[in-house]
Amino acid sequence: MIALPLNYLLILLVLSLIGLIFWLYKKVDRQSQLIQDLRLHGERWRIYPDQKTIQEAVDKANQIVTHAEVESLKTEAEKEMELGLFSSKFQNEFQNNMSQILSKLETSVDSSNGIISQSINQAAKKHDDFLIQLQKQNLDWQNNMETEIKAKTNDLLGSFEQRMTDFFQTAQKDSLGAIDIEIKSARALIDSYKSQQLAVVNENIVAVLERTLNLVIKKKLSLKDQMDLVYEALEKAKLEKFLV
């Protein structure tokens, strides 16, 4: 807050300097303009005269010119002296003012530096405090978020678990029911197949017996036994008078 009027002071100083310089410039310019006018007035007499008149005019002009020159020289000298005095005075004053301004500026800069550094320190401190507060708030927020997320996750998992349990129970029930039906149908199929096969076996038991005997007798009967069976068959054929 103290920095604000200091800025204004600085601005005022700069403006005053500018105004001073402008006023000095104007004065000098006025002086030079005056000299230019005088020179121009002297030159005007050379443009439209006859020979005598011209000569008189020339003489008069020369007189005027010399008088003017003298006057101008005088004036110029005076003016130069005044100008010199003025410029030296101006320089002195300008230097004084500049030194004053500079000293004031230095003091103001020093004070403003001090103020700025103080304000910077305060701002840094405030910034640090703000960061700490922000960090704290962030941590609090993070903790709150974590607890909320945990609670929500727990709720979600609990509901999911419950739903999955329900689903599995229904699925198990359905699958068991389907399996029971399948088992029943398979049993019925097996029973019908069994009865069909038994019927087939009953029909072909004799063929099965023949095949079994064929396999067993070859291994179990000796050559003598086989030949005995053959002779038995031949005797039967003889009795039946097949071999006549």
Interface positions with other proteins (CB under 8 A): 202, 205-206, 209-210, 213-214, 217-218, 221, 223, 226-227, 229-234, 236-238, 240, 242-243
CB nearer to other proteins: give 149 or 229: 229
Work out how close the CB of 228 gets to other proteins at its nearest, in angstroms, rounded to a whole number. Answer: 9
CB nearer to other proteins: give 51 or 202: 202
CB nearer to other proteins: give 149 or 230: 230
Angle between helices 51-220 and 3-44 (to 10 degrees): 140
From CA 147, how far away is CA 155, in angstroms rounded? Answer: 12
CB nearer to other proteins: give 171 or 216: 216
Work out how close the CB of 216 gets to other proteins at its nearest, in angstroms, rounded to a whole number. Answer: 9
Work out how close the CB of 198 gets to other proteins at its nearest, in angstroms, rounded to a whole number. Answer: 9
The helix/strand/coil state of 241 is: coil
Work out how close the CB of 211 gets to other proteins at its nearest, in angstroms, rounded to a whole number. Answer: 9
CB nearer to other proteins: give 56 or 225: 225
From CA 65, how far away is CA 45, in angstroms rounded? Answer: 10
If 0-12 CB within 10 Å is exposed, 13-18 middle and 19+ buried, where does residue 223 land? Answer: exposed
Tokens standing for residue 97: 């003012």
Work out how close the CB of 225 gets to other proteins at its nearest, in angstroms, rounded to a whole number. Answer: 8
Q: What is the dihedral of CA 211, 213, 219, 224, to 10 degrees?
A: -130
Quick one: which of 13, 130, 32, 128 has its CA closest to 80?
32
Which residues are within 8 A (CB) of 76 and not within 5 positions of it... i.e. 6 or more apart?
35
CB nearer to other proteins: give 44 or 224: 224
If 0-12 CB within 10 Å is exposed, 13-18 middle and 19+ buried, where does residue 142 land? Answer: exposed
Taking every pair of Cα atoms in the chain, the longest distance, rounded to a whole number of angstroms, is: 208
**Contact assessment for residue 58 and residue 49, using Cβ atoms and an 8 Å cutoff:** yes
Work out how close the CB of 209 gets to other proteins at its nearest, in angstroms, rounded to a whole number. Answer: 6
Work out how close the CB of 208 gets to other proteins at its nearest, in angstroms, rounded to a whole number. Answer: 10
CB nearer to other proteins: give 183 or 233: 233
